[in-house]
Structure 1
Amino acid sequence: MAKKKSNVVNLDERKEAKAKASSGNSMMVSIMNMTKRIEELKTEKQKICEMAARTILKALDAKDKYTYGHSMRVTYFSMVLGKELGLNDQEMYDLQLSALFHDIGKIGTPDAVLNKPTRLSDEEFKIMKKHPTESYEILKGFSVFEKVARFAKHHHERYDGRGYPDGLKGEQIPLYSRIILIADTFDAMTSTRVYRKGLPYQTAYDELNEFSGSQFDPELVVKFIRGMKKEQAKKEDKFYIPLMDEMYEKDAA
């Protein structure tokens, strides 16, 4: 009789263990499904935020077509450098967002300042210098753009600490901000405007080298020029921005 009781106990224990295992598997599946749903919701939220930011960017296009095209070219130049640095897909995505929306704060800059064809006065320059902080304020309103907002805020910091808005120096400046500064300056030099013709690429490379170590991160300047020369060798007159899913002209004329 004792033996039969033992068998019954063992059978009950096996049933209990099986039930626990089944419960554990069910819980694991439930957690996995919940994680998947959260990821799907996060992706959808990110898509909505991207759409909202693009809408603001389109509004900026209506206000100032140069700034819109400039943002596209800065994104392209930034991605060239990012590729040369060997950034992974997620890092390239963050860099693309940061470059694309770096000047979004100019939506609040007065037209008279934004579109002035001559040199800005000291007072006008003070107004213009507010746009990185304005970009930060707009972007930080989207929770998924927290990092992007910080990168946009610091894209006018100089390597020697004489930039704005916070006077950051060297590697205190976020990497993506240092990348965008080079791309931003390069486009400003090579873009043709109503009041002047853009510089040839080689002349712009020389300018970057001249201010390497003072305005720009010297290592990034070397890699940017190397990456751009590879792009030049392709002899293409358009570039593609994945986030916008559009092709753009390389020439700002």
Structure 2
Amino acid sequence: MKNPKTAREVADAIRVRVLNDEKPAGEVLNTLTELMEEYGVARDTVRAAVNMLASEGLVRMVHRRGVVVQDRVRRRRIRRGQVVTRNPHTGYVFPATHDPGEKWEVHGQPFRSLEASPPSVAEAFDVEAGTSVLRRRRVTSPAGEPPFQLVDTWISPAAVADAPQVAEPSTGPGGYLDRLEEAGHGPISWREITRVRMPSPEEAKLLQIAQAMPVFEITMTGYSGRDDQPLEVTVKVIPGDRVEMCSDLVRGETAAWPVTPVEPE
């Protein structure tokens, strides 16, 4: 393409360079200034072009470095089920966001801390927004791949008071859910909600994605079997270029085949 002028034309030209592996993942393709000079366009045009490519998961802007080439990850087709099972050694197993047989790894160290509760968590626990709530955080991915998901588990202050071990580095066999149920909250039940949104700057940094990349947010709330009150809220944040949600549709009785002829009135 000669002398691209619009943001989309600049994006098309840069995309070709990225897909042709001009630079390996993690390397700087160009600075914004260099791209402005190369394509003879204004800074705003270059920024718009880079944002288009960032939303596709091809590049991201890194402060004081420039336009960095992203890892091209395998997109996974996820069939989200509704059945919770149990592993006798590790505890509850929830509908997966990946192949259960695939080996996964943690990026950095999982950690726990008292954090100001976001509005949705505060509402679930019936506390004021900003109240300090225990958060357990980890970033995971298939072995050898870039970060796939950021997982935050928030545990209500009342639940921590009932089962103090959930705030310890090791929660013991079966994890924090077993400790909560042993404290009188079993059997726990869960509700899951999925939505799409844009990532926060912190989430984008931890997941190594551009802020222009939409993310899936899967929120699972666990309810006490004793009083039906929310005990824990687990939020998974997954970059939009990592997954496809897939469901098998089922015919209802009125959609049975072969079709029953309708008698004329």
Query: Shorter chain as normaliser: what TM range?
Result: under 0.3
Give the alignment's TM-score, normalised by structure 1: 0.24
Larger Rg: 1
Of Structure 1 and Structure 2, which has the larger fraction of its residues in helix?
1
Give the alignment's TM-score, normalised by structure 2: 0.23
